[in-house]
A and B are shown apart, each in its own frame.
Chain A
Amino acid sequence: MSERRSREPEDRLGGAIDGALHLLDRQILDSFDKMVGKVDDVELTEGPDGLEITGLLTGAAALLPRLGGRLGDTTVRHWRALKPAEPLRSHPWRVDMTDVDRLDSAVHLSVAREGVLRKDRERHRLGQLTAMEVVYPDGNRLGRVLDVRFRPADDGRLVLRSLIVGRGRPGTLLGYDRRGDQGPWLVRTVVRGLHRHTAITPAARAEIDWSAATVTLDHVPHDAPGHAFG
């Protein structure tokens, strides 16, 4: 099946990507193009240069919290209650980034799917970060983290460099807030209008509080985000 496809071998892991727009919810395929699952969430670990992507999370324990709100809380609780005897049930299954080969419209692994999932650690999740509230030092609320931009370090580790923040209106996953040339005119005008307050800010100027689920900025961001691919 795969040899019939004549796609350019592109790999987006070599450049900047936006976590929610380009990685979350993508299909994971193994080295034989068999389906493994979705990128239900992304594992973030504090490294020498800040937060970096260390794994892809998949399965119910990763997906259900992302449903958000009361639905997310309830389904997570029920998921755990279905099998109380099982340890680490609310810990998601993870695919280590060392097993990831490349990213295009899907995530391709370099190994076969049999036994590729692990439950060996639990770190921060991208889905928690993109749900966080954004506040100023004086406590005034700005909005929500919509997306985060990663850039590869010299050794290829994807490090979090910027946050994209906005009012949290619908449609941020459609990409119009980052690409002004994407049609059709009707949809672009409406979605860009809704997202006229969306701005990008360096991660260095933001303080992430995981327990309070807030991000504090030391300035008011004004730069509209461009597209990660340039």
Chain B
Amino acid sequence: MKRYLAVALGILTAIGGFVDIGDLVTNAQVGARFGMSLAWVVIVGVLGICVFAEMSGRIAAVSGRATFDLVRERLGPRVGLLNLLGSMGVTFLTFIAEIGGVALSLQLVSSVNELLIVPLVGLLVWLLLWRAKFSAIENVLGLLGLALVVFAVALWQLGPDWGALAHQAATADKPGGESWTVYSYYAVALFGAAMTPYEVFFFSSGGVEEGWSREDIPVMRANVLIGFPLGGLLSLAIAGSTAMVFGPVGITVDTLGQVGLPIAVALGKIGVAVALVGFTAATFGAACETGLSVGYSIAQYFGAQWGKYVRPSEAAAFHLVLMVSTLLATAVLLAKVDPILVTEFSVVFSAVALPLTYFPILVVANDPDYLGEHVNGPVANLLGSIYLVLICVAAAVAVPLMIVTRMGQ
């Protein structure tokens, strides 16, 4: 019984943990402008993160090695260092966006200026990373993040023509007023939002810390293969509800308040209250995960002690990195950088940085020296190879599309 509870908890937190500021903003923007015509990208992205997370979870369970251990072992110190700078840079960018997202959510609650909230959020994030128990962070914030299910309820209340939505999704029916380049730009952004690399750094490092073994592989798979797709459904609900409210009037989404507007239209004050809990929990949880991921990647490259299961005094360098990166992220936000803009950059650069960690993981997932009999089977390798190509294409076109479309204008 206890085992099933643990599995259920893992799945529930994976749903809440899947949606972060990148998914919230990008899905809402895409829904408002393109309706459901980009839904296929969410599905492709969710399957991709399942493939990626399953491989790295399996490696963590069998060999006890987390992502950046492998990056350094398979690419060497020189390429590994460039890889570290790229991946960690993107994760740090996401960290800034998440802290900003928490501040924006609390601003919607309190009407206090976001700049006054940012230092408080930074302090809270740092305190949680320093003092709180790892599982407590993950479980409490993951479960509260489930409040975002309110988007599915809102979509249902808005009473869409389900047949038309499904048809638009199935035929990738781009609205006539939008160009194919802008459509492609948002496709890449949506792909980056679904396949954010930090999710995998966090997932595999957490698995190593919890001491996963071969026996834990089925539970890990259940979390990934059920939790992430359900999280993807939440993403689609967000896109669907903004499509219903903004689509007809041609308004674009530029603030977090607008992301929540369909909830207000459909469900009123109560709905908005629930959505705000969801926003805050999802972004707060993701802020902790991204912050930890910055520390994980640096510590794993240099071999320094990392982790939330050892006392902070035993992992001093790791906690120093956490403190400095939280301070830096807070400082950037205090310089009046728009968190929504940072979010837009972070999802696109996530797509750019993906091959850096995906490729070494795919190689090690095939290496019997690490995995013995648990190496990739034919299905994992077929999917793994298809996604290697997809991820490389998305990474190559991301920046050119960003420049050509001036970030989707």
Which residues of A line the B interface, CB within 8 A?
Answer: 1-2, 4-7, 22, 24-28, 34-38, 40, 58, 63, 66-68, 71, 104-106, 170, 173-175, 179, 182-187, 229
The reply to whether the CB of B213 lies closer than 8 angstroms to some CB of chain A is: yes
Interface hits, B368-390 → A, CB 8 Å: 368-370, 375-376, 381-382, 384-385, 388-389
Let me know if B362 and A34 touch, CB within 8 A: no
Q: Which residue of A lies closest to B366 (CB)?
A: A183
The reply to whether the CB of B257 lies closer than 8 angstroms to some CB of chain A is: no
Q: Which residue of B lies closest to A26 (CB)?
A: B73
Q: CA A25 – CA B301 in complex, angstroms?
A: 9
- What sequence of 0s and 1s flags, for each residue 340-367 of chain B, a beta carbon within 8 Å of any chain A beta carbon? 0000000000000000000000110011
Measured CB to CB, the closest approach of chain B to A172, in angstroms, equals 9
A2 and B211 in contact, given A184-B362, A186-B385 (Cβ under 8 angstroms): yes
Q: CA A71 – CA B79 in complex, angstroms?
A: 12
Measured CB to CB, the closest approach of chain B to A194, in angstroms, equals 14
Which 8 residue pairs of A and B lie closest in terms of their CB atoms, listed nearest first?
A38-B303, A37-B303, A105-B63, A184-B381, A4-B211, A35-B305, A184-B385, A183-B366
Contacts of A38 in B (CB 8 A): 72, 301-303
Let me know if B77 and A105 touch, CB within 8 A: no
A185 and B303 in contact, given A1-B309, A174-B74, A175-B367 (Cβ under 8 angstroms): no
Q: CA A7 – CA B211 in complex, angstroms?
A: 11
Interface centre among A4, A58, A170, A173 (most CB of B within 10 A): A173
Contacts of A37 in B (CB 8 A): 302-304
Let me know if A106 and B65 touch, CB within 8 A: yes
Let me know if B211 and A1 touch, CB within 8 A: yes
Let me know if B213 and A35 touch, CB within 8 A: no
Let me know if B363 and A58 touch, CB within 8 A: no
Q: CA A25 – CA B72 in complex, angstroms?
A: 6
Q: Which residue of A lies closest to B388 (CB)?
A: A186
Let me know if A67 and B363 touch, CB within 8 A: no
Let me know if A105 and B64 touch, CB within 8 A: yes
A7 and B303 in contact, given A66-B78, A184-B384, A187-B363 (Cβ under 8 angstroms): no
The reply to whether the CB of B306 lies closer than 8 angstroms to some CB of chain A is: yes
- What sequence of 0s and 1s flags, for each residue 277-306 of chain B, a beta carbon within 8 Å of any chain A beta carbon? 000000000000000000000011111111
Interface centre among A40, A106, A184 (most CB of B within 10 A): A184
Interface residues on B, range: 35 or more
Measured CB to CB, the closest approach of chain B to A118, in angstroms, equals 17
Q: CA A2 – CA B211 in complex, angstroms?
A: 7
Which residues of B line the A interface, CB within 8 A?
Answer: 62-65, 69, 72-81, 209, 211, 213-215, 299-306, 309-310, 314, 362-363, 366-370, 375-376, 381-382, 384-385, 388-389
Jot down 23 A-B pairs with beta carbons below 8 A, ordered by A: A1-B209, A1-B211, A5-B213, A6-B213, A22-B369, A25-B72, A27-B69, A27-B303, A35-B299, A35-B305, A35-B306, A36-B303, A37-B303, A38-B301, A40-B303, A58-B303, A67-B78, A105-B65, A170-B79, A173-B75, A183-B381, A184-B366, A184-B388
Measured CB to CB, the closest approach of chain A to B254, in angstroms, equals 41
Q: CA A184 – CA B215 in complex, angstroms?
A: 25
Let me know if A68 and B73 touch, CB within 8 A: no
Measured CB to CB, the closest approach of chain B to A101, in angstroms, equals 15
Q: CA A4 – CA B367 in complex, angstroms?
A: 24
Let me know if B305 and A34 touch, CB within 8 A: yes
Contacts of B376 in A (CB 8 A): 183-184
Measured CB to CB, the closest approach of chain A to B207, in angstroms, equals 11
Contacts of A1 in B (CB 8 A): 209, 211, 309
Q: CA A37 – CA B301 in complex, angstroms?
A: 9
Let me know if B305 and A185 touch, CB within 8 A: no
Contacts of B63 in A (CB 8 A): 104-105
Contacts of A174 in B (CB 8 A): 74, 363
A35 and B73 in contact, given A66-B78, A71-B78, A183-B381 (Cβ under 8 angstroms): no
Q: Which residue of B lies closest to A174 (CB)?
A: B363
Which single member of B304, B363, B384 contacts A35 (CB below 8 Å)?
B304
A66 and B77 in contact, given A105-B64, A185-B385, A187-B362 (Cβ under 8 angstroms): yes
12 further interface pairs, Cβ-Cβ under 8 Å (given A37-B304, A182-B367): A27-B300, A37-B303, A58-B303, A63-B302, A174-B74, A175-B363, A175-B369, A182-B375, A184-B362, A184-B382, A186-B389, A187-B362
Q: CA A58 – CA B368 in complex, angstroms?
A: 27
